[in-house]
Structure 1
Amino acid sequence: MSVPLLQAEGLNLRFGTTTALDDVGLNLHPGEVVAIVGESGSGKSTLLRVLSGQLAPADGSVLYRDADGRSHPVHAMSEAALRRLMRTEWGFVHQSARDGLRMGVSAGGNVGERLMAVGARNYGGIRAQAAEWLRRVEIDDARIDDLPRVFSGGMQQRLQIARVLVSRPRLVLMDEPTGGLDVSVQAKLLDLIRNLVADLGIAVLLVTHDIAAARLLAHRILVMRHGRVVEQGLTDRVLDDPQHPYTQLLVSSVLAA
């Protein structure tokens, strides 16, 4: 097994009397997709915010190993360094595409900005890559100069994915990427994400309440309840033979739906 790309240990966090994270740890390896699942209030989105440096834990550590093998304590990084990391080696796909796009900038401009953040300067080359990525996420490249606000919700989410993946980040964090979309749109988007992630070989942390999405995308799965990881392991093993009563309840509720 390779050295972990992201490593978290002993994460604890409380909001008043509510336990948000209780001794949570995880490892994410290069090219691996790990899903964090659980109901609303389970702590999964809080965990993602802590892992991405947006929120500091009361205890514990998060280490990121860069492309040169150097280890960086995420919560010791300056805001500027963390922003630079998020523009280059990391990416974040928001549940609402509007949080991940610049709505007053063209579709091509949204993709091109990310390329410029990693050093691209040739306008023709940037525009050509933007057009290619629009096609890769199944948006007609004739719409390269359209503003995202005239796109459907599904198209906006695909544009956000193109913006994040164009620079080939090593790690992408996804927060309910299919939330709020119609079921038919969700299925096509999940298929698109699966193919792109496999093609690029990137590592993904996926937060979702959707067991079907976790099964389709993830190599491993962590099940959270009340701020604790109650079960984890290979996705098929956990979902086909759940050991914890809460995981059994989650799986059975999906099967009964």
Structure 2
Amino acid sequence: MSAGATCGPLLCVRGLTKRYGHRIGCADVAFDLDPGEVLAIVGESGSGKSTLLSLIARDLAPDAGTVRYRLRDGTLADLAALSEAERRHLMRTDWGFIRQDAAQGLRMGVSAGGNVGERLMGVGARHYGRIRSTAAEWLGKVEIAADRIDDPPKAFSGGMRQRLQIARNLVTGPRLVLMDEPTSGLDVSVQARLLDLIRRLVAELGLAVVIVTHDLAVARLLSHRMIVMRGGRVIESGLTDQVLDDPAEPYTQLLVASVLAA
């Protein structure tokens, strides 16, 4: 099988569960994600959506359940069975993680170009000129001016930091990107610009995405399918437009109604 070939789902999540004492963080969550598909996980604060994302990324160890990912050779690998070195390599190459607070996903004391170039170096790039050229190219793709390549992220606005974090994550050509509230806390106009950029890059690169958001408008704009969570459990799932236009569960109906009433 050739590199990049896939047969079946890219990501398979089965029975993911995480408890904190008597409190349920996440309970028996299961779904598949196909190559190029965007899945939104929505729910109120405390619903378990960010816990689920952390379990998928192995930032948290589950109490039960599995996360399996289809490698480029077609093998469906259990992430828990990978060595730490294998998992880190996967996260640097085939996965990206856009965090809500860009400062957590960037090296704040390193230049914009260095942030992008560092990820390239992590996969073996060593030619300084080519690294800098590729970093400049990616800054342009996320609408950051070339003359800002030597500026540190701390000199950037919130929206620019998020765009830089996107460039840092996408420069190695990942197939799966996790996004945790990527537009939260930004001004409305900045949010709109960032969402347009994300939607364009996702389509151009054929990315599979799992995006956590409390904003149903973001979910509708970006995702093909949606999971609605409450109390750590999935209470409804389906095609995004179907769930939002004709929600079956009373909780989902309340979520949609609260947006319409706002």
1:164 corresponds to = 169
* Residues in 1 aligned to 2:254 and 2:80: alpha-carbon distance in whole angstroms: 35
Q: Is 1:25 aligned with 2:30?
A: yes
CA distance in 2, matches of 1:119, 1:193: 27
**What's the CA shift for 1:60?**
1.3
Q: Pick from 48, 57, 64 the counterpart of residue 59 of structure 1.
A: 64
Hey, what does 1:250 align to over in structure 2? 255
Alignment of 1:204-219 (within 5 A): 204-219=209-224
RMSD, aligned α-carbons: 1.2
Q: Does 1:150 align with 2:119?
A: no
8 Å contact from structure 1 (residues 168, 202) kept in 2: no
Q: Secondary structure at the match of 1:31?
A: coil
State percent identity of aligned pairs: 67
Residue type of the alignment partner of 1:156: R
Tell whether 2:91 aligns with 1:100.
no
Q: Contact conserved, 2:112 with 2:153, CA < 8 A, in 1? A: yes
CA distance in 2, matches of 1:114, 1:50: 23
SS of the residue 1:56 aligns to: coil
One-letter amino acid of the structure 2 residue matched with residue 62 of structure 1: V
Partner residue, 1:238: 243
Residue 182, structure 1, aligned to residue 187, structure 2: yes
Kindly report which structure 2 residues correspond to 1:72-151, keeping only aligned pairs within 5 A, or say none: 72-151=77-156
- The AA in structure 1 aligned to 2:151 is D
For the Cα contact (< 8 Å) 2:7–2:74, is it kept in 1?
A: no
Distance in 1, Cα, partners of 2:94 & 2:149: 25
Q: Could you list the runs of 5+ residues in structure 2 that have no partner in the other structure?
A: 1-5
What corresponds to 1:226 in structure 2? 231
User: How far apart in 1 are the matches of 2:47 and 2:128?
Assistant: 45
Report the Cα distance in structure 2 between the residues aligned to 1:98 and 1:22, rounded to whole angstroms: 30
Residue type at the aligned position of 1:183: V
Give the CA deviation at 1:2. Answer: 5.2
> Secondary structure in 1 aligned to 2:243?
helix
1:5 paired residue number: 10
- Give distance in 2, aligned partners of 1:213 and 1:180: 13
1:120 partner letter: A
Distance apart, 1:78 and its partner CA: 2.7
Q: Residue type matched to 2:48 in 1? A: G
Q: CA deviation at 1:180?
A: 1.3
Would you say 1:14 and 2:19 are equivalent positions?
Answer: yes
Moved more, 22-31 or 79-88: 79-88
Unpaired runs of 5+ in structure 1? none
Q: What is the SS of the residue equivalent to 1:233?
A: strand
Distance 1:19 1:152 in 2: 36
SS in 1 for 2:16: strand
TM-score by length of structure 2 reads 0.95
CA distance in 1 between partners of 2:31 and 2:243 (Å): 16
Question: TM (normalized to structure 1)?
Answer: 0.97
For 2:82 and 2:212, how far apart are their aligned partners in 1?
Answer: 24
